[in-house]
Amino acid sequence: MTLQRTFTIIKPDAVKKNATGDIIKQFQDNGFRILAIKMLEISKHQAEQFYAVHASRPFFNSLTDFMSSGPIVVLALEKENAIADLRKLMGATNPANAEEGTIRKKWATNIEFNAIHGSDGEDTARFELSYFFAGYELAK
């Protein structure tokens, strides 16, 4: 298996809980190499662009309000099988169903305020990485 890149967001709820350090440590302990990292706040409009695939879902307005409600930390990560392995480390969308040892089990509050985003496929990873990072910002 060749190296793969994925994209993740430590969401506003987790940043507010001071979970940032713990979550970054979990990435590193699980073999992910950090290619880029930054903390920023996004606007409602930027959240709508980022989550455009969910535009027709009933929770779209609430989700984009949440994602623009405070600082987030975005990272580009690399490892073998990074996309699937990150999804596994994150745990289920609804923390009530998340396995022991996952980031959402530890830090998520509910199905919406669920601490972390991770790309769900190669195409989304490419789109999401390029939405937040320019090529020159990624480590060699």
Q: Let me know the angle formed at the C-alpha of 34 by 31 and 35, rounded to the nearest 5 degrees.
A: 130
121 near ligand GDP (CB under 6 A): no
> Binding ligand GDP by CB under 6 A: which of 17, 24, 105, 120?
120
Alpha-carbon distance 110 to 130, whole Å? 28
Closest CA to 33 of 97, 89, 84, 76: 76
Q: How many residues form the binding site for ligand GDP (CB under 6 A)?
A: 10
Q: Which of residues 8-37 bind ligand GDP (CB under 6 A)?
A: none
Cα 92–chain centre separation: 13
CA-based Rg of the chain, rounded to a whole angstrom?
14
| Contact range with ligand GDP by CB under 6 A, out of 27-35, 71-79, 95-103, 107-115 | 107-115
93 near ligand GDP (CB under 6 A): yes
Cβ proximity to ligand GDP, 111 vs 138, nearer residue = 111
Q: Which residues are catalytic?
A: 117
Side chain identity at residue 58, one-letter code: P
Backbone angles phi, psi at 76, to 5 degrees: -100, 125
Residues at the contact surface with ligand GDP, assessed by CB under 6 A:
54, 59, 62-63, 93, 111-112, 114, 117, 120
